[in-house]
Chains A and B, each alone.
Chain A
């Protein structure tokens, strides 16, 4: 093996414990240093084409099948695009119930991300045995902690079931409102359960703060870079999840654009496609591609809002803000986890508020109208970031065009940047050149970098789960000179 002609590629396939399938390839130069690292998303299902010809009424039910993790967010966004096409306001009760559904979606998805998928790294350690690094391993390690997480997720799922009749893929929200009202018995059951839920949300926050101390070594390179932040905020600048307008913040904390109409999202955000991944690269149009890199989701939302309406989450938001010494936003993607748990607390507190609001027990939950517009856009904050559905229909409500801008895709450039940063930091060129085995824990760190974003790849397109993780070292001619199997 002539080292000076060596061109090395490392593959991690699949990336497990994220909600989707993907591969990571790391390209090393002839000095054994990381030259590039790419996050490849491997599947495609074609919703933007095959929904043509379907009815606007069916779209919430079809598009929720984009993703089994955040189906309720697709459901609500699709129903909102339908409201826009009918051009009607929906009843107050329906809006409050849709809001509760959206928050329940946050609770179940954020609980999944933290307890089931990420906490095995934190509690068992990045270098622990891969056989145990999962929710079953966590159960063996700390049954009570795992049980609490399981029950917190269940709380979110049960709200969805109470509202929509089933936990996954309910067709409950429709253009004009929702299909079924909510009952007092269901409300009372949730209120009784509530104290436990709040306690677990607290526990999660306390746990992540201890973790920050333990992972000081990892943190500086876990996706610590400048980017824009995008999300919805309410009228007063408060954190928003269902309505509101778009805000764009730069890495110094300046608000570059505010009160943008979500309906005109396509004027502000473009998408680029590349040959090596099925996941497109959204970018902020005024800055061009790839300079218009932006992040969405919990880190962005907690950064861009001026306050959170509920007291405990607001207190945490202030602590979060203090992590950045200046007026800069918190730029380190490791803090996605913290931001996610602040949002979890917000969602939990806000659900309680809604449960005490008698308006949710109203029975007028659906407005009816004909097709009044030939186009409609729906937007909401899905667990992973802002989600947009854009439909064009004919006079009968048959879909002619469909465009979906998905939360996870909007973090695509940031995920690629993060993988590269962690790989450069932790892969030791000397080891590579001497043919020493690269420790498994390093690959797990790279994957954990991706998990900060909690990407949902079934949403964004979608990879496969059986290939062993391989590290390939090729020479310049493409000859495999070395291979490690994890």
Chain B
């Protein structure tokens, strides 16, 4: 029998949710026997494959490429999980929303660059910031939400186990917290 295909994706976040996934520690060994990790920032396959069973998405949608990625992931994943508070609420990544992009970019690349050759604006190679960073479910349908900044390894383990059984995880109250 083929093992279920799992992917993890990192959009506008700090990678802390992925680190919490790695904090499964020895449970990773068990997980390796149960799933195929088909795409992830900790792995090397560049293309997002077809027919992924479960995709965990870390981070908010902060730019045009994140948004495109989100739609692509949705089309190719049976279940999509908002992985952590940034994906779920925008969290720290959305703290920029009270400033305009000009204010944000000028601060970093003009005021704080004593040699300011240019703002990062060559959008043939780099992404364009959205005016607002938004949670994942603002742009695509999401099947389950993992709370926490980051979610704890226990919560991740529970979610993975349920999803592998084909059930949408119903979290106990102690998992339903932000931060």
Contact of A464 among B69, B107, B112 (CB under 8 A): B69
The 7 lowest CB-CB distance pairs between A and B, nearest first, are A68-B16, A134-B43, A275-B118, A469-B46, A272-B115, A468-B47, A46-B104
The reply to whether A465 and B28 form a contact with Cβ atoms under 8 Å apart is: no
The interface residues of chain B, by DSSP majority, are classed as mixed
Contact A48 B112 (CB under 8 A): yes
- CB-contact partner of A151 in B26, B40, B117, under 8 A: B26
Q: Which residues of B contact A464 (CB under 8 A)?
A: 10-11, 65-66, 69, 127
Contacts of A134 in B (CB 8 A): 37, 40, 42-44
Stretch at the interface among A14-22, A78-86, A312-320, A335-343: A14-22
Asked if residues A43 and B43 are in contact (CB atoms below 8 Å), the reply is no
- B-contacting residues, A36-53, CB 8 Å: 38, 40-46, 48-50
Say yes or no: is B171 at the interface (Cβ < 8 Å to chain A).
Answer: no
Cβ-defined contact, A68 with B104, below 8 A: no
Pull 9 A–B residue pairs with CB atoms less than 8 Å apart, ordered by A.
A25-B125, A40-B125, A42-B65, A43-B12, A136-B28, A136-B37, A273-B118, A464-B127, A469-B46
Q: With A and B bound together, what is the CA distance between A48 and B126 in angstroms?
A: 20
* Listed stretches B90-98, B134-142, B160-168; interface member: B90-98
Cβ contact within 8 Å between B117 and A275: yes
| A residues 18-74 touching B (CB-CB < 8 Å) | 19-21, 23, 25, 38, 40-46, 48-50, 62, 65-69, 71
C-beta contact mask, B105-126 vs A, less than 8 Å → 1, else 0? 1011110111111111110011
Known: A23-B125, A45-B93. A50 touches B104 (CB 8 A): yes
Answer whether residue A477 sits at the interface, using C-beta atoms and an 8 A cutoff: no
Q: Is residue B176 within 8 Å, beta carbon to beta carbon, of the partner chain?
A: no
Residue of A14, A21, A49, A277 most packed against chain B (CB within 10 A): A49
What is the number of contacts between chain A and chain B, taking CB atoms within 8 Å?
228
B57 to A: closest C-beta gap in Å: 10
Q: Are B14 and A68 neighbours in the complex by a CB distance under 8 Å?
A: yes
Q: Is the CB of A467 within 8 A of B46?
A: yes
> Given that A49-B107, A272-B116 are known contacts, is A112 also in contact with B22, CB under 8 Å in the complex?
yes
Q: State whether the Cβ of A143 lies closer than 8 Å to any Cβ in chain B.
A: yes
Report if B80 contacts A (CB, 8 A). no
Q: Which residues of B contact A21 (CB under 8 A)?
A: 10, 41
Of the four ranges (under 10, 10 to 19, 20 to 34, 35 or more), the interface on chain B belongs to 35 or more
A49:B104 contact, CB within 8 angstroms: yes
Instruction: Report the bound CA distance from A218 to B70 in whole Å.
Output: 37
A169–B149 contact, CB under 8 A?
A: yes
CA distance A164 to B115 in the complex (A): 39
When the two chains form the complex, which single residue of A17, A43, A116, A276 contacts B22, counting CB atoms closer than 8 Å? A116
- Cβ of B45 and Cβ of A131 under 8 Å apart? yes
Q: Tell me the B residues contacting A by CB distance below 8 Å.
A: 9-20, 22-23, 25-26, 28-29, 32, 37, 39-48, 62-63, 65-66, 69, 72-73, 91-93, 95-96, 98-99, 103-105, 107-110, 112-122, 125-127, 129, 149-150
Chain B residues within 8 Å of A117, by CB:
42
A206 CB to closest chain B CB (Å) equals 23
| Chain A: CB-nearest residue to B103 | A49
Query: In the complex, what's the smallest C-beta–C-beta distance from B118 to chain A, in angstroms?
Result: 4
In the complex the two chains form, is B46's CB within 8 Å of A14's CB?
Answer: yes
Query: A residues within 8 A CB of B63?
Result: 42-43
Docked pose: A163 CA to B141 CA in angstroms: 39
| Docked CA distance A171–B10 (Å) | 23
Specify which chain A residues have a CB less than 8 angstroms from the CB of B115 in the assembled complex.
Answer: 270-273, 283, 289
For A131, list chain B residues within 8 Å (CB).
44-45
Interface string of A140-152 (1 = CB under 8 A from B): 1001001100110
Q: Contact between B96 and A50 (Cβ–Cβ < 8 Å)? A: yes
